[in-house]
Every structure is written in C-alpha cells, then in structure tokens.
Amino acid sequence: MPTILSHPAVPLAISLGLGSTLIPPRLLVAGLIASVLPDADVLAFRLGIAYGHELGHRGLSHSLVFAVAVALAASACAPRLRARRLTTFLFMLVATASHGLLDMLTDGGMGVALYWPFSDQRFFFPVQPIHVSPLSLRRLFAPRGASVLGSEFFWVWLPSLVAGLALFVARRRLVRSG
C-alpha cells in the first residue's frame, strides 16, 4: 500500500482543481479521512484475522462496494459538509475508491479485493511502480522507507499535483470564457 501520507493526494488534487466552492473545507476533510479509512483494516491483524480473509488487509474495506457505502453515508450528511449531495457522493466515492486503486499499483502484498462481495479474487494493475509501504511507522522511517516515499512522490504526488493543476487551469479558463 502507499503510506497513509500519500492516499490523501487524490482528494487534495480534486479539491485544488475544483476549488472550495464545489469542495468546501468540511467536505475536503471528510474526503481526506475517507482516503485513508480503508487501512483501518490493519486492525484485523491484531484480531487474528488472516491477511487473505475478506475482513483482512486489502479485503472488503478496499472494495468498490465499501467506497459506495462510504459515499452514500457521506451524502446523507451533505448539508453538514456544506456541499450538494451529488457533489458529496461523487467526491467521497473517488476519495475512498482511490485508496484501493492506488494499492493495486504497489509491488507487494496479495492484491486488492476490488469486487468484493461479488468476488474474493484480489487484483493488481499490470504495472506496479509504487513500492509497497511497511505496515509500521518504525519500518517506514528506516532506510527502506526513503525508497517507498520516493516512489510515492514520483507515482502519486506528482501525477496528483499535475492533474489538480490542470483541472484548476481548465476551470479558470471556463469561468473566464463563460
């Protein structure tokens, strides 16, 4: 998995691109939380649940069904997030689903149960350029961690920044021409 530091890159990029009128600060904070929420499944290790179990790491919490459930729950709270329901649903869906998709780009682990509960099969993308993160902070800040953070900078943060800036520029041009 990418580190907990890099999953928020996607909602941050979307927020940069769309602006605070569409993605108000409260919704952004909810999206940042949603982007790391799937990794709460690491608690399964402490409960003795095996990695490959559907409740294990990269199981149901990394699925598209989980992302839809989080997005539906958030859209019910849209007024408190100061955003429209559809905007809230779509933003939260992308923020949550991006977690599993980024994990599918890593070079370690057992893959992601993207289609759970319809399939227990775990998937990776054909190309896996992101170095898998260690599951402990102590190992993350060891020498191997620098390699992990470097790959995340190159494969997560830079593309997210470019996409966010491109969306920002496109939005500004639309506003000026409209």
pLDDT digits (tens, 9 = 90+) for 37-65: 999 998 888 888 878 888 888 999 999 99
**Burial class, 7, CB count within 10 angstroms (exposed 0-12 / middle 13-18 / buried 19+):** buried
Query: CA-CA distance, 121 to 114, in Å (whole number)?
Result: 8
pLDDT digits (tens, 9 = 90+) for 90-112: 999 999 999 999 999 999 989 99
- The lowest-confidence range among 7-11, 50-54, 65-69, 116-120 is 50-54
Q: What is the percentage of the chain residues whose pLDDT exceeds 90?
A: 75
110, 44 in Cβ contact below 8 A? no
Give the model's pLDDT for residue 130. 95
Cβ-based neighbours of 1, under 8 Å, separated by 6 or more:
39, 58, 102, 103, 106, 109, 132, 133
Q: Is the preceding peptide bond at 117 cis, omega within 30 degrees of 0?
A: yes
Share of the chain above pLDDT 70, in %: 97
Spatial separation of the C-alpha atoms in residues 11 and 68, rounded to whole Å: 16
Q: Is the dihedral of CA 106, 98, 60, 81 positive or negative?
A: positive
Average per-residue pLDDT in the chain? 93
| pLDDT exceeds cutoff 70 at 1 | no
Residue 68 pLDDT exceeds 80 = yes
The three-state secondary structure class of 77 is coil
Structural domain spans, the chain: 9-177
Q: So what's the pLDDT on residue 55? A: 86
CA 91 remoteness from chain centre: 11
